[in-house]
Amino acid sequence: MILIRTLAAGLAAIFLSAASPVWASDDDHVAARAALARGEILPLRSVLEIVQRRVPGDVIEVELDREDDGWEYEVKVLTSTGRVREVTLNARTGAILEIEDD
């Protein structure tokens, strides 16, 4: 599992940069970069724009997972009402697969 987490909405500016979470292995970071370069996943900036259109709020966590049928982003958003919503997207197309309360 590739795991990328953040507590900052500004993650889009630093995704796939030298700043890597301490719990993600170096191999995870390399795999994410390679998937982006091959066009297997959308850049995080694009994913966050899609999520914000559907679920406005502060992004508090992002995961990139390799599933049997392809890559998925899971984005947790803290809404203005204090609710945490989890948005699951197809990482290649940006199609929203599920929105649920966390």
pLDDT in tens, 14-55: 343 333 344 456 678 898 899 999 999 999 999 999 999 999
β pairing state of 58-67 and 70-78? antiparallel
Phi-psi region of 94 (alpha: psi -120 to 50; beta: other; left: phi over 0): left
CATH number of the structural domain 11-101? 3.10.450.40
Domain ranges, ordered by start, for the chain: 11-101
- The tens digit of pLDDT for each residue in 72-91 reads 999 999 999 999 999 999 99
Question: What is the reported pTM?
Answer: 0.74
